[in-house]
Structure 1
């Protein structure tokens, strides 16, 4: 395989834990280095599906694994025969400000970092497990939910499905979490999820999203659900107990994995 990245540092699997690997690559889109955490299960077959998990504001590549133990939950589900073996890919958002939004900005393209370089790095790391037949999925929480739904809708030929947990649904919601000016996020015209989804509805895959009933973003998620119904766009929306916290995300992330498993 042609080596795309000028520099590519990977942790030694013999020193890892719970089948986690850590990678740092030099990224053209970030104009610097980017971090990725991967979970590759034992005896993972070829053509394995890949689930990309995007973190929220303030976080990084370690957040999903070390704040929710999602890799352990997936490992247990695989061992129990509840889901097919899969690879988890948990990249950083590029570490801009409080959160990049996984969007193109003036000097860096955080969208292409995910849809181009993170996917290419995954193929380079898991050369035996990830093939042209492997399906890719994307999900995320809060800012990562915004990113996952937005990128999933914008790249339907790349992602088989997508899911958001406690998602930011409009660019204006970023002001609840970040101190940076919202003008940094306005390099694109599709800044609300409903606009992005409607603009790409012709090829959009079946998708889901959920939110906790005590979440500060619950009304925004209910509004998006209503807008999707009015636009006659097929989707699944669910609400559960909980707020905007890791307790909610670790307790509900497997619902996304099980939803994806039906499409592996």
Structure 2
């Protein structure tokens, strides 16, 4: 018995077929990209209060482009030597957030990284450069108007490093009605003794934008200072606000800011203010903050899930 076989002929694609295949490949590529996270580094907010354009970097989670879902928002604040791109360029935040989301440890979220210059996130003492007012009155409304955000307090949080750790604590204490959680890494919290011991030029370098040209012989611990001092605000936190925000502190054992962070932890323990406190091996470095960001994101995500 013989079986008759016929060789299959190679398919010949004409221009229409090729065009169709290219469209399919392009659609598949675009679909895959739509499922990836995106970072936009040069978003501009026109500020009436500051009378200038302010920049921010923005992380949109995987699937944002193709969904109608509303997301919680984390405001991730940079340190004194950086700008709005610091967390993206040196902190590798996109990779770390993506990994946490894929592993199910981190909630899909929008991450906003504003440029705070060297304001320490403060309104200026002279009332001429009100960065905190800009953040609360213009930045947050801009984000919630232009991106799909969950607008409730439960779905809004703060985190930051160094100057940004100070800023995240400051806004959590000044505006507990707006934020559910605060994760401060290597926060630039200093005791009054440390503030008074700073050389005059160093004091001005750090605080000139907020405090102005403070004379060398002037008192540094003023009413304005106390209104913005993390230690003073925590010491005088009303009983009703002790559980208004969930707090997470993380500072390396070799960090020069160890004293302020340890003092803050002790104060919060003595006043029975709930918080988590971490001391890990390391100093005031990007490697420390990169290694600490995943745990901070998990802490923030727990608040979003409550």
TM-score, normalised with respect to structure 2? 0.73
CA distance in structure 2 between the aligned counterparts of 1:86 and 1:227, rounded to whole angstroms: 32
Q: How does 1:176-255 map to 2 (within 5 A)?
A: 179=205, 181=208, 183-184=211-212, 187=224, 189-201=226-238, 202-203=240-241, 204-255=244-295
Of residues 19, 24, 28, the one that matches 2:48 is 28
Partner SS for 1:162: strand
Higher helix share: 2
The answer to whether the 8 Å contact 2:72/2:150 transfers is no
1:103 is matched with: 122
1:149 is matched with: 169
Q: Figure out how many residues of one structure are paired with residues of the other and give that number.
A: 243
Q: Which runs of 5+ in 2 are unaligned?
A: 1-32, 215-221
Larger radius of gyration: 2
CA drift at 1:71: 1.6
Of residues 107, 112, 116, the one that matches 2:137 is 116
RMSD: 2.4
1:9 is matched with: none
Q: Which runs of 5+ in 1 are unaligned?
A: 1-13
CA distance in structure 2 between the aligned counterparts of 1:67 and 1:117, rounded to whole angstroms: 27
CA distance in structure 2 between the aligned counterparts of 1:171 and 1:18, rounded to whole angstroms: 40
CA distance in structure 2 between the aligned counterparts of 1:24 and 1:178, rounded to whole angstroms: 29
Higher strand share: 1
198 and 144 in structure 1: CA distance in 2 versus 1, 3 angstrom threshold: same
The answer to whether the 8 Å contact 1:57/1:178 transfers is no
